[in-house]
Amino acid sequence: MIERPNRRRELGGPDPLDRRLGSPATPATWLLSLLRTRSALGLAPSLTPATIFLPLGVLLGPIGLGLFSPTLLSRLDVAVTIALAVLGVLVGIALGRDVRLNMPLLLAASLESAVTIAAVLGATMYFLASTGAPVGAPILAMALALALCSSASSATSSGADTEPVAGIATRVADLDDVLPIVMATFAFAMLPGIDTRQAWVTIVTPVSIGLAVGAVGWLVFERAESGAERGVYVLGALALAGGGAAYLRASPLIVGLIAGFCWTIAPGRADRLVQEDLRKVQHPLVVLLLVTAGALWTPSAIALWLLAPYILFRLVGKVAGAWASAGFLDVAAADLAAFLMPSGVLAIAFALNFRQVLPAEAGAVLISTVGLGTVAFELFSLAVVPHWRRRR
Amino acid sequence: MPEREERSGRETRLLALVIVVALAALLMLARFRFPAADLADVRPAQGPLERLVARSTYEDLAASVANLVQRVSSAVVVLQIQSLAPDPATGARGVAPEPPPAVTRLVPGARMAGDLALVHVPSGFQVTGGQGLAVPVEVLRADQDLELALVRAPSVLEITSVLANPFEGFPGFSYVGVVEAAIGGVTAKPTGPPTRGGPIPSSSWAGRPICRRARWSSPWTDASSASPCRSTPTTARSCPPRPCRL
């Protein structure tokens, strides 16, 4: 089991001894401690929650100050694609480590994710069919995209001073992204405009790109003569992964996942080298994704219309998924569900990925709905869940 | 162990409660039909970073022309002119030759006060109709020398006859759009840039009034303040098909 460093002490978080003695916290320190407890995929806790950068993106976007024009946002697509590939690499690294060490954890995370996807998918399809809301895309495609976005989770950081369930929840949050990424690969093959006879090409192509990038990275990362040179190799590999996926209209998340998985299971230290280098750029990439998604947010009645089934049945899915998988993990289902409640940046990443392939109107609705839902669940987790857990 | 069973039972009740509440809310919301909303398109304003982004010239030009057409369409009326039938001439054997087919064209006319419009009518043509008119067009005055005609052409729609940005202060060295008439309405053709905007003397204009009620001034002697499509009740300005500033 890989020992994670105590990030709270490194970032100046509350001393665990003070916390155990119950020293009073001011509102400012309480807010800072909340904002610094978010992490997913091994991202270090920092002030990067969706509740800050999504509204900031809205403010900077076309409907706000207009600093991010539609033309600029369209040109940021490439950077967004590379950022998605980076997130895919982090998921792949987490998958590669746990598939060898803890298969039940992977199965439990996949089960939790599957329950959430099924709940949101069914509810959204029924809702759209009953109300006739025009989403600009086939009902199945829109519902599947929304469901895959809803399955993403982020959890609190784990360290020596945190509860055991937080550590387990963090790793579940890392691994519950694998199933939606794999499903998205198959979903891309079913999009309108894709010939069914070529669907297998759409599925195999990103896997091939991921294997190629994985092979290239494995060969060159450890042979770099300096850290700077290695950084260039890493960024080049990620640019190749993201660019190849964008050119072939494949999902950059699956390309990154395959590449990260290859670097982890292959002999050598490629996975640790990549993680070390990505740690320097992970926060700007997360901020880029959140601000871009905020700038793309547009107020629409349909997004509000879809928000109700999204929020309600993501809640149902997380509670039911935690209830179903808690037995494999020997933790309390309510605790696990509480830690998995916030969506984090992965939901936004999925939404941005689907926006690149859906019709424009459907993509805008998806971004708006997922953005609002992400902020709602972040606020719910900050304000309600700690009290909910304390009263148990 | 009993504590664990109690916790498990509590979690099961929590799960059941969440599912029941969510299903009830879904069934209640699904009874409503999505209202058809008339959302107005909001064009986002250009931001400061927009200028740093390379843009296609043709896209800008097309957008400018479309904007121009939208601005001037309320002040321009599409009229139909037809060539006059030539005088029948007797041939060598006393048989009149077959007259040439009449030529029909669409021309733009500048709206003035009320339902009046001023239109350039080339020599040998006459106004015979219009587009989007409530009643057939009525020619009030026609001057073959000046090639102008004053017509009454009430539109089916309530329109204004004043352009948002008049022609005053045209500095030159700027692209202009030439307003033309088409079957579907008004269109504009980009051209230019003209090197300067200034008066051009013409022997056709000697201050002759074309209409008893209005006093005309030659546009070529007052080009700096000439507005091709602006009209006032007391002073009418000539409005040949002239470029409107983009």
Contact A316 B31 (CB under 8 A): no
- Check whether B118 has a pLDDT greater than 50: yes
DSSP A123-154: HHHHHHHHH----SS-HHHHHHHHHHHHT---
Question: pLDDT at position B204, please?
Answer: 58
B7: closest chain A residue by CA: A332
Question: pLDDT at position B199, please?
Answer: 60
Give yes or no for B168 touching A (CB within 8 A): no
Chain A residues whose beta carbon lies within 8 Å of the beta carbon of residue B45: 66
Contacts of A252 (CB under 8 A, 6+ apart): A81, A82, A84, A85, A88, A241, A242, A245, A246, A353
Which residues of chain A register pLDDT less than 50? Answer: 1-22, 38-48, 158-161, 392
Task: Quote the percentage of chain B above a pLDDT of 90.
Answer: 6
Give yes or no for A126 touching B (CB within 8 A): yes
Contact A131 B37 (CB under 8 A): no
In chain A, DSSP assigns E strands to 38-39, 155-156
Contact A71 B53 (CB under 8 A): yes
Measure in Å the smallest separation between the Cα of B186 and chain A Cα atoms: 30
Measure in Å the smallest separation between the Cα of A93 and chain B Cα atoms: 33
pLDDT interval class at B194 (50, 70, 90): low
The answer, as to whether pTM is greater than 0.95, is no
Chain A residues whose beta carbon lies within 8 Å of the beta carbon of residue B44: 62-63, 66, 69-70
pLDDT tens-digit readout, B163-181: 555 555 555 556 677 888 8
CB A57 within 8 A of CB B38: no
Out of A63, A69, A308, whose CB is closest to B25? A308
Question: pLDDT at position A368, please?
Answer: 94
ipTM of the predicted assembly exceeds 0.85:
no
- SS3 per-residue string spanning chain B: CHHHHHHHHHHHHHHHHHHHHHHHHHHHHCCCCCCCCCCCCCCCCCCHHHHHCCCCHHHHHHHHHHHHHHHHHHHEEEEEEEECCCCCCCCCCCCCCCCCCCCEEEEEEEECCCCEEEEECCCCEEEEEECCECCCCEEEEEECCCCEEEEECCECCCCCCCCCCCCCCCCCCCCEEEEEEECCEEEEEEECCCCCCCCCCCCCCCCCCCCCCCEEECHHHCHHHCCCCCCCCCEEECCCCCEEEC
Question: pLDDT at position B246, please?
Answer: 34
Token code pair at residue B44? 């986002």
Question: pLDDT at position B174, please?
Answer: 62
pLDDT interval class at B36 (50, 70, 90): low
Which residue from A120, A86, A137, A10 is spatially nearest to A343, judged by alpha carbons? A120
Question: pLDDT at position A1, please?
Answer: 41
**Coil, strand or helix at A267:** coil
Contact B44 A62 (CB under 8 A): yes
Comparing B158 with B208, which gets the higher pLDDT?
B158
Which of A104-118, A305-319, B144-158, B215-229 is predicted with the least confidence, judged by mean pLDDT? B215-229
**Coil, strand or helix at A156:** strand
Question: pLDDT at position A314, please?
Answer: 95
**What residue ranges do the domains of chain A occupy?**
49-390
Domains assigned to chain B = 58-84+102-202+210-245 (2.40.10.10)
A133: closest chain B residue by CA: B34
Q: In B, residues 51-90, which contact A (CB 8 Å cutoff)?
A: 53, 55
> How is domain A49-390 classified at the architecture level of CATH?
Up-down Bundle (1.20)
- Check whether B31 has a pLDDT greater than 50: yes
